[in-house]
Each structure stands twice: as structure tokens, then as C-alpha cells.
Structure 1
Amino acid sequence: MAGQSRKVRVGLVQTHATKDVADNRARTVALVDKAAKQGAQIISTQELFCSEYFCQSEDYACFELAETIPGPSTEAFSKVAKDNGVVVIASLFEQRAAGLYHNTAAVFDTDGSLMGLYRKMHIPDDPLFYEKFYFTPGDLGFKVFPTKFGKVGVLICWDQWYPEGARLTALAGAEILFYPTAIGWHPTEKAEQGAGQHSSWETIQRSHAIANGVYVASVNRIGHEGAKDGGLEFWGQSFVCDPQGVILKKASVDKEEILITECDLGRLDYQRTHWPFLRDRRIDAYGDITKRYLG
């Protein structure tokens, strides 16, 4: 029935990271377990939760942080998903083969089964975000996972700036777009540019919700990582917004939190019927979108 209420509780785990991989993993698993016991049904970690954000420099030693799939993290999250009957999205540094690494999200269904992977498609290369040194661009395309509680699309951090990724994932059937994230301020820029940078980040993701008639859930880390007088200050503020782009709930800048938000997936039909952007797309006129530049 069109517009019939279909509610799901989304959980986002916002936390800090240290140099202790085992501790980061154990704490995150415990927070996912806690979120499930508090009623969350689809739970996402932040980006690369197992370690500090190592992409601030190009260091071959950091490849030691990668893990295989299956591996210790997938084993742990499979168990917590099955034990609690929840869906879990876990962001990992994947070693696919010798010399081949990806920034990958693993999605587990309520029985603990690995539904599949999403490998980050857009890879940045900016000061303190030297990801091209570490990650091969994803080759699985834009994915949708038909979980027990809803159709979930996953994109990762830098992907969130690209309307094409959100659109293609929504067109494939996603009802909620999850964005595991690690984004923060350069401390020297914060006073002058911090408010604008954060506003841009939040606005672009809210626009994906509006343009596609979907929920968006973005989960960021907290804390300062890197050199004392430099590094990155992660700005937290994980949030969930509805298909109109209205923020339903937002976390703090600097506190570890489990953010649980109820989303009514029945609203998607109403939103897309009254704001029929998908209906009115001129797909016959968009061929040039695959070109780098038209000038």
C-alpha cells in the first residue's frame, strides 16, 4: 500500500580512535552491541574505526593496519549482528591481495551473514587526506543491500560530495544512504573557515536526501589526531536527515555518542510523489554526464 508506515531505528556510533587497534575494535563492537540493546536495528560505524586516521601522511608502515575479509573485524561484527538480530555496517581498511588495498564497508544482515561489500569509489588526495597513496578506487559500483529492515545504500566519506553516487544508489533502490566518515578541521583553518566547511558538508548530504527522496545517515569520528600543533580535529556532529533534508537528530562535536533515530520508510513514496524529481528526470538528455568536461 502506497505510503504505508514502515519504521526502522537507525543507530550511528560516533567515537574516538587511538593507536591501539584491538582496543578500537573492541570498543566499537561494544558500542554497536549497546546500540542494538537500546533498540537500533541498522547500525553503522564511522569510517576506518579500527585505527587513527592514518592518511594524514604517506607511510608504508600503515599498510600493516589493513586486514583481510574475512578477518578479525568481519568475524566480530558478524557475531554482534547475529547475537542481536541487527544489521551492521562496518568500515574497514581491506587488504584484498598483496599490494591491493581498499577503503571498504562490510554489511551484515541480522543472521550475521556478510551481505556484501562496498568499496569507496571516490578517493581524495588533499593535505592530510592522502588516500590515493593507500586505496585503490572501488570496482564494485554503487551498491544496495536488501536487509531485513530496509534497502540500504553505503557510500564512504569523500563519496558524499558527489551527487552522481547518491543518485545511482537511490536509483538502485536504496531507502537510506549511509555515509561512514572521517572529516575534520585543520586547526589553523578552523577560526576562519571552520563554520563554512562544516555547513558545506552537512548541506551537500541533506541535498542528496532531498534530490532522491531518501533518508541520509552520516557518522563521523571525534577527537584530535596527528601532530600537536597540526593534525586534524574531527568535528563529530553525526546526523540523520529525512527525505526533505530535515535533520532529525544530530550528535555533539566532541562526545562519544550512540545516535538512534527512527526513520519511517513509508514516507519515501509520499515524498517522491509530491516532489517527483525521479519522474521528471530527462534521462534522454544526460548522455554528456559521462564526460569529464564540456567546455
Structure 2
Amino acid sequence: MHNILRMQINDSMMQVQEAWMMPFAFCTREKRWCEFAEPVNGESTQFLQEFARKYNMVIISSILERDINHGETLWNTAVIIGNHGNIIGKHRKNHIPRVGDFNESTYYMEGNTGHPVFETAYGKIAVNICYGRHHPLNWLAFGLNGAEIVFNPSATVGELSEPMWPIEARNAAIANSYFVGSINRVGTEIFPNPFTSGDGKPQHPDFGHFYGSSHFSAPDASCTPSLSRYKDGLMISDMDLNLCRQLKDKWGFRMTARYELYADTLASYLKPDFEPQVISDPLLHKKSS
């Protein structure tokens, strides 16, 4: 039930394997899925390491990580496997949704790996996991760290987010001068026990339809056609990473941004005594005579 993207750069390949946060688990109110959690170097990673080595590919694999060294804490993690079959590193999902059926804090908390960019044989890549695509500063931080391609492995349903899907990643590619690979699964999972989500709706046995529509977006505002909304698919796309620098030179977003102003605003916002910078019309609340 995958829409899978694969990009080709200078006769080499990079593949991202889509999964819904982990290959076998779903964040329902039932926590029986925890039995599928594994360490970063677990069986799923070992299985894919062989393919990475055999086909000279960089693979991004989504797993439910069990952090053995820290009380067996669970994380939503992307493992980056190098083209020699080595583990380059990992990234843990920064933003955990609490919307509709997607109450993932039942399983894990916000990630603690920052916004890492992984320098691979085929480019500097990052992984903005699923719900993180709704946070513009998340996209920005990967760009500030030098990403040329940001993958967004997702599993999202039509009723929740489909109108946003063709917009958010494309905006991120333009604003941050990098490529974006948007990956979503297809199909509908039916669970044996109906569940509720604390939103007042009746209990139900599924999340809804995962609408696929995986695609690539480029920093020049172009994008590929999307894969199917209903069927498995594989997309292969050539990318010229020189376009990232060319668009930076053209628009100068990094040069014209006012990061010091944003930093001051954010620092102020985090303080308990924060007051919004709102200037009211002095006549707005004046009583008429």
C-alpha cells in the first residue's frame, strides 16, 4: 500500500521507502503495536542495508524505534542508510499530532534530534516526518542546515489533509530553495475493534482513505505529476541539484531574510510575560458622543 518515490542523480539512485510512521504499526488507542518496535540497527534496517549495498542506493526507512539505552522509550524515527549499506544516522519526528484519529502521543513524544541534514553520496538530504510538514519553521530549519532534498514520508487521509497536500511541500521547496519528495501511502486499514478519538464522533474501525498522490517539488516552483490516489506506484525523477544554488542566487531569500528580527520575536514569545505587538487605533474603542 505504498506510493514510493525514487530519484536519479548522475546515474545513481536514492530511494525512500514509505511507511505509516513504521512498517507495521498504527497509532490506535490499542498499544499492541508496540511489539513491533525495534532499535535503529534492528531487523528492518538490516534487511534494507543489503538492498542499499546491492543497488548502490541511499534508503530512508521509517521505523517505530525502541531506544534500548534510554528506558526503551519509543520514537517515530527515520533511519538513513548509506549506499554502502552503512547507517549514516537517524532523525526522530519533531512534531506529534493531536488531531482527529492521529493522537500519536499515546506512543511517543516529540523528537530530540533537531533538524539534521545527512551528507550522502548523492546529495545533502533531510527528513521532515509526516505531520512536521504543517510547521513552516520545521522546513526552514532543514534549509538553514543546508538540505538540498527534504523527504516527507507521510501517511495522511483525505478528510484530514488532502487540500493541503499539493500546496505545503511546494511552498517549502520555493521558500527554502531545495527539492521536496512528498510520499503518502494508499488504501484503508480496517481494525478489529472500533475506536474513538476524543473528538465527539462515533466510534469507527478505520482512519479513512490514505490518498497517496506522492510527488516531487522543485525550488523553481515546478512539480511532477502525482502518483495514483488509489494504487501502489513508483516514481523516478531526475534532479539537478545545481538548481538549489541557482534559485538562491536568483531570489536571494537567505540574503534578504531578517533572521535577527524573527529570533527576537520568538525569544520574546517564549517568555511568560509576552505581549503581542499590536497597535490599536486610539479611536477604535472611543465612545461616540
* Same structural fold, with TM-score higher than 0.5 when normalized by the shorter chain: yes
**Structure 2 equivalent of residue 45 of structure 1:** 17
The offset of 1:229, in angstroms, is 6.5
Q: Which of these two proteins has the greater Rg computed from alpha carbons?
A: 2
| Aligned-partner Cα distance in 2 for 1:113–1:125 | 34
Matches of residues 1-295 of structure 1 in structure 2 within 5 Å? Answer: 15=2, 41-47=13-19, 48-52=21-25, 54-55=26-27, 57-97=28-68, 98-186=71-159, 197-226=161-190, 230-286=206-262, 287-290=264-267, 291=269, 294-295=275-276
| Aligned-partner Cα distance in 1 for 2:112–2:32 | 25
- Mark the CA change 1:229 to 1:95 in structure 2 (over 3 Å): closer, same or farther: closer
Structure 1 gaps of 5+ residues are 1-13, 17-30, 187-193
The offset of 1:231, in angstroms, is 2.6
Of Structure 1 and Structure 2, the greater helix share is in 1
The offset of 1:226, in angstroms, is 3.1
Moved more, 225-234 or 280-289: 225-234
| Aligned-partner Cα distance in 2 for 1:256–1:201 | 18
| Aligned-partner Cα distance in 2 for 1:270–1:81 | 31
SS at match of 2:252: coil
**Contact 2:155-2:184 at 8 Å conserved across structures:** yes
- Mark the CA change 1:272 to 1:162 in structure 2 (over 3 Å): closer, same or farther: same
SS at match of 1:219: strand
**Contact 1:241-1:249 at 8 Å conserved across structures:** no
**Contact 1:40-1:260 at 8 Å conserved across structures:** no
Over residues 133-176 of structure 1, what are the superposed CA-to-partner deviations in whole Å (9 max), with x where a residue is unaligned? 10121111001000000000111000111111111111111000
Would you say how many aligned residue pairs link Structure 1 and Structure 2? 254
| Aligned-partner Cα distance in 2 for 1:208–1:221 | 21
- The CA RMSD over aligned residues, in Å, is 2.3
TM-score, scaled relative to structure 1: 0.80
The offset of 1:294, in angstroms, is 5.0
> Structure 2 counterpart of 1:45, which letter?
Q
Q: Give the fraction of aligned pairs with identical amino acids, expressed as a percent.
A: 28
The offset of 1:230, in angstroms, is 4.5
| Aligned-partner Cα distance in 2 for 1:235–1:78 | 29
The offset of 1:198, in angstroms, is 1.7
Query: Whose relative contact order is higher, 1 or 2, with alpha carbons under 8 Å and at least 6 apart?
Result: 1
The offset of 1:43, in angstroms, is 0.6
- Mark the CA change 1:104 to 1:230 in structure 2 (over 3 Å): closer, same or farther: closer
> Structure 1 counterpart of 2:29, which letter?
E
- Mark the CA change 1:111 to 1:294 in structure 2 (over 3 Å): closer, same or farther: farther
